[in-house]
Amino acid sequence: MPLLDVRDLRVTYQSARGPVPAVRGVDLTLDAGETLGIAGESGCGKSTLALTLLRLLPRTATITGQILLDGEDVLTMSWGKLRAVRWAGASIVFQGAMHALNPVHRVGRQIAEPIMLHERVRESEALARAEELLTQVGLPAWRARSYPHELSGGQRQRVMIAMALACSPRLIVADEATTALDVMIQAQVLDLITSLVAERGIALLMISHDLSILSSTCRRLAVMYAGRVVEMGPAQELFGDPRHPYSGALAAAFPKIGDPAARGRPRGLGGDPPDPAAVPSGCAFHPRCPLARPECATTDVELWPAGPDRVASCVRVLPAGSSREAS
């Protein structure tokens, strides 16, 4: 049984302009100890997906589908069970920018907080464990007495990681965890995450818009566009040989150092991601797609097999001669 099994997840926000579908049918699985990356531009629904995994969306959002964590559906759990699962079952490393940590609490206390909540230990013991976690992420133990504003961006991110490990969860979701950092710090933090997760056998769901980072950190990769997964498969293969034009565009936008083919100007993709409230018909990507065909505007695309352990929702992966019309 997979650790995480997301089935046909759909999330719709209520806004002043009416309902806005942010996630339009996503299926994912993640086994224990596995690493899965989710790539996409802003607005594709990946952060919504992350928050939904622990039911952290505002009450006005409508959610359908199932999120099975160790076999239990997060979306229908009782509040008590949900609160117990939060952090102890799965935890999130947010983008640690100024506001993800409480500015008026010391860092050690913030790491100790979930420990005291979930494990009923005394404060002194929880703080001791917090200090140990800090050393494991490469910070000196005395930093537990620091406030968030006294730390640099990289250090705050390490605190977030230490905090996420505090209750030994089985799954960690890293939502744009390295996005705001300098490149050198980014590399360090990524190494830290991957080594800690591998050591402890924790499953990792890493979300980023940077496909090159994901391809080197995760074993498998899913690309999201306009609220849906448009391609999924082993990370290196997907990055090297994308089957969906959007994945191809994302990969081309982040050239690999040392790759002679990428030495030209990185080719960007014109246009903007579609407004979630007004998604184009057929394949949502067709207005921007450089390889669009006439039937792309009318065919209901699904994730079709596109190679061994690969799926992509593009009509081009279908065997020639079988065209599907919108039903």
Partner 1 sequence: MTASTTGTPPPTSPDTSPEEPSRLTSTRAVVWQRRRAALARFWRDYRQQRAGVVGLVGLALIVVAALAAPLITDASGLDVTRAPGKRLEPPSWWPWGPGEAGEFFLGTDETGRSVALLTLWGARVSLLVGVTATLLAIGIGTLVGITAGHFGGWVSSVLMRVTDWFIVLPRLVLAIALAALLGPTIVTIVVAIGVTSWAGTARLIRAQTLAVEARPYLERARALGAGHWHQMTRHVLPNVMPLVLASTTLEVASAVLAEATLSFLGLGDPARVSWGGMLSRANASGAVTYGAWWYLLTPGLAILVVVLCFTLCGRALEAVFNPRLRGR
Partner 2 sequence: MTVESSLVAGSEGSATSEPPERSGSGFGRYLLTKLGGAAISLFMVVFSAFFLFRILGGDPVDALTREIPTTPEERAALRERLGLDRPLPVQFADYLTGVLTGDLGESYQYQRPVMELILERLGPTVLLTGTALVLSASLGLWIGTKAGWRQGSRYDRLHVGVALTLWSAPTFWLGLIVVMVFGRFLGLFPINGMVSPRTPPGFWPQTLDTLHHLVLPAVTMTAVIYAQYVLVMRSSILDEMGNDYLTTARAKGLRDDLVRRRHAVPNALLPTVTLLFLHLGGVVGGAILTETVFSWPGLGLLAYEALKIPDLPLLQGTFVFFSTAVILANTAADIVYRFLDPRVRQS
Contact residues for partner 2 (CB under 8 A)? 51, 54, 56, 82-88, 91-92, 94, 97, 99-105, 113-114, 117-118, 135, 138-142, 145, 147, 149-155, 158, 182, 184-185, 188, 192
Least Å distance between CB 254 and partner 1?
20
Could you tell me if 159 and 149 are in contact, meaning their C-beta atoms sit under 8 angstroms apart? no
The CB-side HSE value for 109 (13 A sphere, CA atoms) comes to 10
> Which secondary-structure segment (H or E) carries 24?
strand 18-30
Q: Which residue has the tokens 């596995």?
A: 34
282 DSSP 8-state letter? S
Token digits of residue 275: 């407004």
Site string for partner 1, 217-256 (x = CB under 8 A): ----------------------------------------
Instruction: Tell me how far apart the alpha carbons of residues 210 and 32 are, in angstroms, rounded to a whole number.
Output: 24
The item of partner 1, partner 2, none sharing an interface with residue 299, based on CB under 5 to 8 Å by kind, is none
Least Å distance between CB 150 and partner 2?
7
> Is 99 or 200 the residue whose CB approaches partner 2 more closely?
99
Q: Which residue has the tokens 């290196």?
A: 236
> Is 54 or 315 the residue whose CB approaches partner 2 more closely?
54
Site residues for partner 1, window 253-272 (CB under 8 A)? 270-272
Establish if 275 lies at the interface with partner 1 (CB under 8 A). Answer: no
> Is 16 or 104 the residue whose CB approaches partner 1 more closely?
16
The item of partner 1, partner 2, none sharing an interface with residue 149, based on CB under 5 to 8 Å by kind, is partner 2
The item of partner 1, partner 2, none sharing an interface with residue 184, based on CB under 5 to 8 Å by kind, is partner 2
> Is 8 or 272 the residue whose CB approaches partner 1 more closely?
272
Could you tell me if 191 and 106 are in contact, meaning their C-beta atoms sit under 8 angstroms apart? no
By DSSP bridging, strand 18-30 and strand 90-93 are unpaired
Site residues for partner 1, window 283-302 (CB under 8 A)? 287-288
Helix (H, G, I), strand (E, B) or coil at 217: helix
> Is 21 or 114 the residue whose CB approaches partner 2 more closely?
114
> Is 272 or 300 the residue whose CB approaches partner 1 more closely?
272
275 DSSP 8-state letter? P
Site string for partner 1, 62-101 (x = CB under 8 A): ----------------------------------------
> How far, CA to CA in Å, does 149 sit from each of 106, 114, 211, 309?
10, 21, 30, 45
> Is 280 or 307 the residue whose CB approaches partner 1 more closely?
280
- Per residue, the 3-state secondary structure of 176-211, as one string, reads CCCCCCCHHHHHHHHHHHHHHHHHHCCEEEEEECCH
* Total residues in contact with partner 1, by rule CB under 8 A: 5
> Which secondary-structure segment (H or E) carries 27?
strand 18-30
> How far, CA to CA in Å, does 317 sit from each of 235, 239, 301, 306, 322?
18, 17, 11, 6, 10
Could you tell me if 299 and 327 are in contact, meaning their C-beta atoms sit under 8 angstroms apart? no
The item of partner 2, partner 1, none sharing an interface with residue 287, based on CB under 5 to 8 Å by kind, is partner 1
**Whole-angstrom Cα Rg for the chain:** 21
Least Å distance between CB 292 and partner 1?
10
Site residues (CB under 8 A) for partner 1? 270-272, 287-288
